[in-house]
Amino acid sequence: MSRILSGIQPSGELHIGNYLGAVKNWVELQKKYECIYFIADYHAITGSYEPADLRRRTRQMAVSLLASGLDPAKSTLFVQSMVPEHTELTWIFSSVTPLGELERQTQYKDKSQRQESVSAGLLMYPVLQAADVLLYRADLIPVGEDQVQHLELAREVARRWNAKFHSDFFPEPKPLLTATRRIMGLDGQAKMSKSLGNTIGLLESPEEVWAKLRPAMTDPARVRRTDPGTPEICNIYHLHKAFNDEATVEHVAVQCRTAGWGCLDCKKVLLEGMMRELTPIRERACELEARPGLVTDALAAGAAHAGEIARSTMATVRDTMGLR
């Protein structure tokens, strides 16, 4: 059976962009594969941050993931720093990673340009990611388009390590691109992201979601209620596609083009569809908040299982490299 692995940054509560773009797919994959998922807290320390805030965001992410349907009975879920072998393998891989490749990574170039002081950790970020993947010798890595370059680097690290030590121990991991197109923020201008403040949280109440949907950008051609619109250019329409069935989506398109509905009518139907999917998730999250031991236990069990695989990989790696 193929082994799936992916990680997510500890950004706190999930928003519907992360959920539709990644986590919903992770939940599906549990049915068919052996899955290993983790919260990438070692990746979250390369810039400035508050320790208490990081711990809170990590915890909230764990709650969001479990509430979304990641099932500790089916998959392995843990926090990256609970398995310190990730960092040991990072150091080892740093010796087979060409510096030039790291300096060419798009994410590094973007982020380093925006900071006045750049840590070596920011440059090493993709090496840590290669270690995450190869530590478990995973085959398939569900990621978004923006992580493909990092994964290409992980493949190169695997090839170089294998070649240097005359081994075929590390398989080359393949990206598994998620079918969902990227979810735009409520402004309809940029990708949904916490830093832009254009998100809908996965655990928000219907009232909170409505307060955000109501003023959200639609087709600017619909100035008056009687002006027809073009659904394809409207972000609300794309959200309908994510939360409603095909027949409803088709109905929305017709009502928009013929000005049968106003945008508020359209948004009310969207709210209903969203809440059908999100209410059970919010309820599960409430249960988990009330019983924090469940979260702690799930993460501990996940880390114990991940740790076994990680220690076995590191034993082979050290042995092959003449360490100890």
Contact residues: ligand TRP, CB under 6 A: 5-9, 40, 43, 129, 132-133, 141, 143, 147
Active site residue: 32, 74, 174, 191, which one? Answer: 191
Nearby residues of 306 by Cβ (< 8 Å), 6 or more positions away: 36, 38, 76, 78, 82, 83, 136
Question: Of the listed 111, 174, 241, 267, which one is catalytic?
Answer: 111
Closest by CA position to 14, among listed 52, 72, 70: 70
Question: Three-state SS for 93?
Answer: helix
Q: Does 263 bind ligand SF4 (CB under 6 A)?
A: yes
How many C-beta neighbours within 10 Å does residue 97 have? 21
| CB closer to ligand TRP, 21 vs 231 | 21
Q: Which of 20, 66, 266, 298 binds ligand SF4 (CB under 6 A)?
A: 266
Examine residue 92 and tell whether it contacts ligand SF4 (CB under 6 A). Answer: no
Site for ligand SF4 contains 237 (CB under 6 A): yes
Known active-site residue 194 = yes
Return the number of the residue (108 or 237) whose C-beta is nearest ligand TRP.
108
Query: Per CB under 6 A, does 256 bind ligand SF4?
Result: yes
Coil, helix or strand at residue 7: strand
In the complex, least distance from residue 175 CB atom to ligand TRP, rounded to whole angstroms: 9
**Nearest to ligand TRP of 9, 112 (CB atom):** 9
Contact flags string 194-233 toward ligand SF4, x per CB under 6 A: ------------------------xx--x------x-x--
Q: Which residues within the stretch 115-144 sit at the binding site for ligand SF4 (CB under 6 A)?
A: none
Q: Which residues contact 52 (CB under 8 A, 6 or more apart)?
A: none
Q: Which is nearer to ligand SF4, 79 or 236 (CB)?
A: 236
Q: Which residues contact 160 (CB under 8 A, 6 or more apart)?
A: 96, 97
Which of ligand TRP, ligand SF4, none sits in contact with 193, Cβ below 5 to 8 A by type?
none
Other Cβ atoms within 10 Å of 104 Cβ, number? 12
- 236 near ligand SF4 (CB under 6 A): yes
User: Considering all CA atoms of the chain, what is the largest pairwise distance in Å, rounded to the nearest integer?
Assistant: 77
Single out the residue of 204, 261, 273, 317 in contact with ligand SF4 (rule: CB under 6 A). 261
Contact 223, 262 (CB under 8 A): no
244 near ligand SF4, rule: CB under 6 A:
no
Size of the site for ligand SF4 (CB under 6 A): 14
The torsion of the CA quartet 34, 96, 83, 2, rounded to 10 degrees, works out to: 0
Closest separation between CB of residue 212 and ligand SF4, Å?
A: 14
Q: How far apart are CA 212 and CA 236, in angstroms?
A: 12
Among 31, 109, 194, 241, the active-site one is 194
Query: Measured from the CB atom, is 174 or 291 closer to ligand TRP?
Result: 174
Take residue 224 and report the two structure tokens written for it. 């008056």
Binding residue (CB under 6 A) for ligand SF4 from 29, 102, 192, 234: 234
* For ligand TRP, the closer CB: 85 or 132: 132
143 touches, from ligand SF4, ligand TRP, none (C-beta below 5 to 8 Å by class): ligand TRP
Kindly tell me the burial class for residue 40, based on how many C-beta atoms sit within 10 Å of its own C-beta (0-12, 13-18, 19 or more): buried
DSSP alpha helix (H) spans, the chain: 16-18, 24-29, 51-68, 85-94, 99-103, 106-113, 120-135, 148-164, 206-213, 235-243, 246-257, 263-290, 292-321
The catalytic site residues sit at 111, 191, 194
Residues that bind ligand SF4 (CB under 6 A): 218-219, 222, 229, 231, 234, 236-237, 252, 256, 261, 263, 266-267
